Amino acid sequence: MRYTLGNLDQNLPGPASPSALDQLITTAGNNKFTAHDAQAGARTGPLPLGSIGFQHSYIIRQTQMGGGKGSIKQGFCDAKGNFTGTVGSDQESASITKDQANKLGIVYWMCEYLKPGSYTFQGGAG
């Protein structure tokens, strides 16, 4: 799997092996990234948020592309991959509130790919 940042027409190369979400969700990339050629059973993360901050909540949504219905499960989690907050599938949003984040201490994000495909995500603070 490989990652690009921003809109697909920007074609900004992403890290080969991201170690934090702030390497994928960047202001230069319009807070979007694409995971290309994901295989069923693969995953991205769990990745700590890194320098991504928020006041009330944070949301990540799969915005385009993908493998169709039942193709991903993504959301915020602890270091072991135990999801918390609202978990998203397909083009639904995953979200976490500041209170939920405070209970975790370090917040991570993870996506499990249930079907092969390329998936674009966008993140934003609420």
Q: pTM of the full predicted structure?
A: 0.93
Range of the domain at 17: 2-125
> pLDDT tens, 39-95?
999 999 999 999 998 999 999 999 877 777 889 999 999 999 999 999 999 888 999
Contacts 24+ apart (CB under 8 A), 8-11: 8/34, 8/64, 8/120
> How many domains, the chain?
1
Q: Which of 2, 4, 18 is closest to 108 using CA atoms?
A: 18
Q: What is the rounded (10 degree) CA torsion for 11, 33, 1, 77?
A: 170
